[in-house]
Structure formats: C-alpha cells, structure tokens
Chains A and B, each alone.
Chain A
Amino acid sequence: MEKHLNLTLQVWRQKDAMSEGEFVEYQAKHISTEMSFLEMLDVVNEEIIRKGEDPIAFDHDCREGICGMCSMVINGRPHGPKERTTTCQLHMRSFDDGDTITIEPWRAKPFPVIRDLIVDRGAFDRIIASGGFISVPTGAPQDANALPVSKQNSDLAMDAAACIGCGACVAACPNASAMLFLSAKVSHLGYLPQGQPERYGRVRNMVSQMDAEAFGTCTNHGECEAACPKGITLETIARMNRDYIKASLTYRPEIASGGAG
C-alpha cells in the first residue's frame, strides 16, 4: 500500500575535488513509498532548482541496477539498507516516516570525489585494461559450440561476471581494497576454458595495477561481500588468491621473440 513520508536528509555537498565538503540538511516532504530512492532525490532536486540553488549531483543512468553508475552511502552503508540492492533499486518503502537519512559519496582514496556524491572510479577501468580480458581480436574464431563448457562452470563464470563495477565493495572495505571486484573478473574468466592461456599472467598484471592505484590490501573483513549488490562472494577472493600464489610461483619473464629471420 502506498504511504507518504516526511524525511530529513543530511547530504554531503562538495563543489569539486579541490574544495572541502560538508553535510547540508534538506527536508523531503510527502514522499511516496512507491518512489525509488533516486526519485526521492529527483523531487528534492526539483525544489532546489526552483529556488535557484545547485541541485545535489549524483551518478545514475540505468536506474535498474545494472549499469553500476549509482553510488551512494546511505546511513553508513554503500547502496543503503537493503541486501543485494543498488541505490537506484532501493525503494522508499524501506524507510519510515520521520527518518533522518545521511547520504554520502563512496569514501575511498582511489575514488576521489568529483562533486557532491559523484566519485572518479577510473581506477577500475585501468585494472581491467591491465589484464581483465581474453586476448582475442575480432576475426574468425572457431565455431562457438566447438568448445563445450560444463554447465556448472558456465554458471559459476556467470555468477562472477554479474559484477557491475559499482565500487561498493571498495567503499565498504576499511582498507579500501578492490579485491572483490578484481577477483570477480579473475574468476569469471578463470572458470572458462577460453580464459586459461592467460590465467596466471592476468591475475599478476591486475594485482600489480591494483597496487599501483592506492587500493589497500585485503585483510578478510568481509564487508565487501555484505555490501555487494550482485552477490559476489568472498569465495571468489579465495579462488583468486590461489591463482595469484600459483602465478607468483610459476612466473617466468617473457622470452623476447626472435626475428622472422
């Protein structure tokens, strides 16, 4: 049943990366429980604009939990109170009339704030660019069914591939570690036969990029798993660690290829 709520918001406002930020209070009146969290903010922003003030800047796009763009810490939890739910899919029926809600950006050194609730997650792209792929140029690979993949492995790969790259895991981690994100990609490709040739080089390169990006180390707090909207589990980290150890043990510098003669 639809109800209406009056809420107090404490929102982090910060002009740009250089400026100091602060919490600013807003009233959100007559908010329908049918609204999504972002629709609630739309309503607040419409009012702010009409007053001629700067609306609250936040990242969003698909608004259906798949693009990974939305990124807010709500009452201290990345993506808010509801398990396995992104900010954009959180609905106001999760709140009560009279609630005070604090809204902050992801807080992590590798994700600097750009403005208000918007952060720069470019480090994630750079981690993928360092090895989160299978090197197969467009051309004429073999027939797709020439390489059977067990349903089990395919399903496990899909579970890991569901990561939306939102960064909640980093925001939740006391060390700002990117291990859950990284291990999700390593597992996705590692479960598949196509991913085997580059398996160990991949993990080595991605970890060294992660270290270069000021992410912290993983000390098994498990906060990432609890915050992840896509159910990526700590098990993927364990799996990745095994690959990483093996990668370090078997590391051989690349042999320079000789000329064609």
Chain B
Amino acid sequence: MELNSRIPDGPIEKSWDKHRFDLKLVNPANKRKYKILVVGSGLAGASAAATLAELGYEVECFAYQDSPRRAHSIAAQGGINAAKNYQNDGDSIYRLFYDTVKGGDFRAREANVYRLAQVSVNIIDQCVAQGVPFAREYGGMLDNRSFGGAQVSRTFYARGQTGQQLLLGAYQALERQIGLGKVKMFNRHEMQELIVVDGVAKGIVVRDMVTGKVSSHVADAVCLATGGYGNVFFLSTNAKGCNATAAWRAYKKGAAFANPCYTQIHPTCIPVTGDHQSKLTLMSESLRNDGRIWVPKKKEDCGKPASQIPEEDRDYYLERKYPSFGNLAPRDVSSRAAKQVCDEGRGIGSTGRGVYLDFSAAIERLGAKKIEEKYGNLFEMYERITDDNPYKTPMRIYPASHYTMGGLWVDYNLMSTIPGLFVLGEANFSDHGANRLGASALMQGLADGYFVIPYTIGGYLAGVKPGTRISADDPAVKAAEQAVEARTNRLVGIGGKQTPTHFHRELGKVMWEYCGMGRNEAGLKKALEIIPQIREEFWKDVRIPGSGQELNQSLEMAGRVADFLEVGELMCLDALERRESCGGHFREEWQTEEGEAKRDDENFCHVAAWEHKGEGAKPVRHVEPLKFDNVHLATRSYK
C-alpha cells in the first residue's frame, strides 16, 4: 500500500493556491453528468452536499436520522475557530496554524493544517451570510471568546449552541438544493457496504431503516462524512447513534485507517451516576474561561460540601501546575490532571471520580447576569441533569470520551487509499494530530465540506470519463448487496440471550480501562486478549428479536456494536505499537518526571495507517513520515 500524501511543494503559504490552480477542472456542462454520493449530513456532509450540488453535480446524500438537521454536529456547544483577528489581539493565519500543530502535539500534517487556518476566515463569512446568528457586541460586530490551548480570542459562538446554528445553516443550504431537485436526500438509510470495482470506489449499499430494504447506489465518487468512533467507549458525549460502520466497511475494502489510538477525552463532562447511564453530557469547554477547577487538598475533605472547604484548603491544580494557561490548558493535559487528582483519592462526588468547576469568583467579578448571558443554557442543562444549581454550588465534572482524531487516512485532496473514495470531517484523520484543540472540529468539518472537497473532487472527476459508471446489476453490486444481507441474516439468526447493549457496555469498560486516559503495554495486551473474547461471545449469544425486513433498532445497534468490537481491537493494537506519549495518547511508560507526555520524535514522528489483510489476519502498519519545516518540533509546554 502506498501512502502518497500529495502535499504540494513550495512555501506553505502558497501551497493551497498553487494546488487549486494545478488541479484539473471539470467543464461546467459536464458536471451534471457526474454523480456523487455524500454519506452523512453533519457539518462536513451537509456543507459538501450543498456545495457540490450548487456547482452542478448530481448529488445523493444519506443519513441515519430522520432529517439531515439532526446529525451529531448539532450538539456542538462551544464555538468555531477562525483567524479573523477581529479582537486585534495578535491572531493570524500563521498563529492558528501554529497553535493547531502544537496543540496536536506535532502529529498532524503541516500543509493540511495551514490550509485549514487559511479557509477558516471564509467559513465565518459564509456562515454569517447564511444567517447564522453568532454572538455580537453592542456595536453590532461579532464577539469572540478564547478556548483551551489558545491565548487569543478567536472563537466565534452562538450562545452554547454553535454546532446547532452552523448545522442549521448548512442544512438550510442543503434543503435549498433538495427543493431545487439537485440533491436527493435519503434519511433513515444506513450505509452498510462500499462497492469497489478494480480498486476504485463506485457506490454504496444502504439499508432502508424503515422497511429493511437493501439497495445499491452507484456513482462516480463517494464521500464519507460519517463522523467519529468515540462510541467505542460505550459512554461518550457522542449521540447514541454515532457509529464507525461506514468507515469500517471502507477499511475492510482497502481504505487505510490512520492513528486509531488518537482519541480525545474531554475534561468537562457530567460524571457518571450509575450502571443505567446511557451517555455522558458535555459541559462546554468555554466554561473554563470563567470557571476555576479545583479539588480539596486533603482527602478527608472530599465528602464535605464545597462551601465548607475554605479557600486555603482548595487545590486549583491546573492554575498551580500550568500558571500561564491555567484553567485553559488543552484538553488532554486537563483530563489527565483530573484523573491524577482522583487517583490520589482527592476526587469528589458519590463515586470519587469528579472535580469541581467553580463559578463563584466569576459571579462575584461579573455578576450573575453576565454569567447567565454567557452560559445560561449550559447552566440550565446542568441543573436539569443533576438537580444542582451551579450558580450556588460548583459544578461537578469528569473527563469522558468525546472526539476521535484518528480516522480513515486521506491525502491532501481528502482522498483515501481507495481512489474515488473521499473522507471528510471527523471521519478522516488529517488535521488534528494527536490532540484536537477546542472549537477546531467545526472549523475542519466546514472547511472540508465548503472549501476543500468542491475543488479537489473536481481534480479527480476530470480524470473520469463521464458515462462510465457501473450498472446497477454489475456483479460487484450484487456481491456487496449479498454481503449485507448475509450479515443481517447471521445477526438475526443467532438467537442468544444477551442484548446488543450488554456487549457494547462490556467493550466500553475494557476500552476505558486499558485504552483510555492512560495506557500501558500490559494493559493493552490484556485488552487485546479480552476484546476477541467479547466478540466471540457476541456472535454466539446476542439476541435480536424481529427480522431484517422491518424497522428494527436492536438490529441497527447490533450491527454497530459488531463493528466497534473490531475497531476497539485496532485501537489497542495501534496504541500498543506507538511506543511514545503524544497528545491524547498517553503511554504511562513514556512520561517526564512531572508526569507530562514524552514524545519520541526519532521513532514516531509519523502517521500510522493500518491496512486490512482479511478476516482473522493481522493488519499491516504503514507509515507516513511527518515533516516539520515551519513549526519546529518542540516539547509542548503550557506552563
């Protein structure tokens, strides 16, 4: 397998311009002759589908929800970064680029990140033109705030509902194209197979989740924008339906999977309350702008109400350890610090796995009204879930699985190792290295969909002769459909005793324990023994009532769990092979005396991309070396 990143040469400031000029163009009259499938309608998928249709391509779009507006992107709270420098505080494209490369702990591609920072400014312009109601100052100008890992205010936000508003903007653009007949939307359709002919992506097989009907769609190119695999941990901040199925089918058909072990554990989520827990709720990182994080200095104080612990007995551990970034230290650093204090026995709450996020100082300084204006809906959400009032008592928070930096490997054009298969948004691996900075996922999803794929896919299609699509009864199409049906029949036919959720929860416990915030060789090896056992149990003992020919939520869930049981294994394998600590991947064997991550640039300054070699065979690890010509490799410090 060849990993050709196709990074343009020359100075980084010019690469994207030059590349766009070098890309071949599709004649406008020919565009309608090409059909493109966009799987996913989140920020990446909806923006891509709308834009490609505006350009004149024939587009079909797929989502598992009942409307494109409900994609998981809707839940993003805090904001979106852009190098506008509206605050005149020293921001620039170069600084956003620099912060992102550093934040990713030098494990992302420089050229991709630079392009991301460049188009970030266009995104804000586009969204405002669409009517996205970003927060404004009294003078009518756009407001900004700062986010973890940055010392400038470059984050644009719409109350605590930024993802919702951005997605509605993209959704409305998409609906406009649907209304014009330029995009055909397939809601409640789940992609279950990729059709590959002679090594080139030619279509997908989907299951209609209402009728159970399996059908194929053939096309000239396929874009996956199906989101991340964070639900491999069972408990995560992702929506319940988020899954790895589409990406995993592509992996099995030859698309390399890059850096699966790079997962992000978000520091500020509402702690687990019991075994019934079905998901975890994020409290936006923006809260760290005004909230101070602490635990009691003494173990004995942990059971007391916060109000009875005097100031001098509180340990504001982030401010203590990272005086210059303080409560705004990046996510990986903050999460690990929370784990550490809880491991020391200083955690709070009924389970002892929690820390305080305290607003009393900010309320005193700015007044409750100002705080309400900034975070009102988050406070409300917190109170609804916990029955505690955060204006009066500090929030209790703990880290949870949130985002996956790893994903399908793509080149500079966002094309996977399967020609004709493009991957956008969280589903690809490209821009965040080993740790994503806050407010950068929304930026990347929209960059990919609005401003990158519309150009790069043209470069690919210009080399595909119009009218050469395979026919719907091509043997490859039939074979793919049969594979889907066989899998469904197999699942339904097991007739065991346990529910799909049972296996998912078991997998989640293993992943959290051995491949979560801290990882080590013994633990990962153990996980690699346990996961195949759970998988075997699953295929023997799962119970799925009903049939494949109807709306069957147990079947949907079982299909996803079956894939997570394989994804989890690859994650552990990748984590085992990456013998260094970087970003969200913390190998306990590689840490400094103060417990900070210790990279090994000599041996691991590369992307690891895994190639599937058949069922039961060990996947092969390929390497794409990373070069840092602009930002010099340095130890990340937030002290």
Contact = CB atoms under 8 A, between A and B. Distances in A.
Interface of A: 2, 15-16, 32, 34-36, 38-39, 42-43, 45-46, 48-50, 52-55, 57, 59-69, 82, 85, 89, 91, 93, 114-115, 118, 120-122, 124-126, 128-130, 132-145, 147-151, 154-155, 157-158, 161-162, 164-165, 188-189, 192, 194-195
28 contacts: A34-B273, A39-B276, A43-B276, A46-B499, A49-B544, A50-B499, A50-B543, A59-B66, A65-B381, A68-B74, A69-B70, A91-B384, A93-B387, A122-B67, A122-B187, A133-B173, A133-B176, A138-B50, A141-B126, A148-B136, A149-B136, A151-B136, A157-B131, A158-B133, A165-B70, A192-B131, A192-B133, A194-B131
Nearest to A114: B210
Contact of A125 (B84, B168, B175, B544): B175
B67 A85 contact: no
Nearest to B543: A49
A126 B158 CA distance: 26
A158 B133 CA distance: 6
B434 to A, nearest CB: 27
Nearest to A190: B131
A24 to B, nearest CB: 15
B70 A61 contact: yes
Interface string B268-282: 000001101111011
Contact of B175 (A48, A128, A136): A128
B529 interface: no
A89 B385 contact: yes
A54 B75 contact: no
A103 B61 CA distance: 33
B65, B141, B279, most chain A CB atoms within 10 A = B279
B279 A122 contact: no
A162 to B, nearest CB: 7
A64 B240 contact: no
A138 B47 contact: yes
Interface string B58-93: 000000011111101011000000001010000000
Nearest to B158: A158
B216 interface: no
A35 B164 CA distance: 25
Interface string B106-145: 0000000000000000101111111101111111111000
Nearest to B185: A125
Given A53-B545, A61-B65, A134 B172 contact: yes
A66 B125 contact: no
A134 B502 CA distance: 46
Contacts of A142: 125, 129
Interface in B168-202: 168, 171-173, 175-176, 178-179, 185, 187
Given A121-B66, A147-B128, A162-B161, A64 B122 contact: no
A48 B450 CA distance: 45
A39 B74 contact: no
A63 B278 contact: yes
Contacts of B178: 125, 129
A43 B499 CA distance: 11
B381 A89 contact: yes
Given A54-B545, A66-B75, A141-B129, A148 B168 contact: no
Contacts of A48: 545
Given A52-B543, A53-B545, A118-B551, A148 B131 contact: no
B588 interface: no
A92 B196 CA distance: 49
Given A35-B276, A67-B75, A128-B175, 18 more contacts: A16-B550, A39-B277, A39-B278, A50-B497, A52-B545, A61-B65, A61-B72, A62-B70, A91-B384, A115-B210, A124-B67, A125-B175, A129-B175, A133-B172, A133-B175, A134-B130, A150-B136, A165-B67
B99 interface: no
A149 B51 contact: no
A154 B133 contact: yes
Contacts of B127: 144
A194 B127 CA distance: 11
Contacts of A61: 65, 70, 72, 239-241
Nearest to A38: B278
Interface in B436-495: 450-451, 454
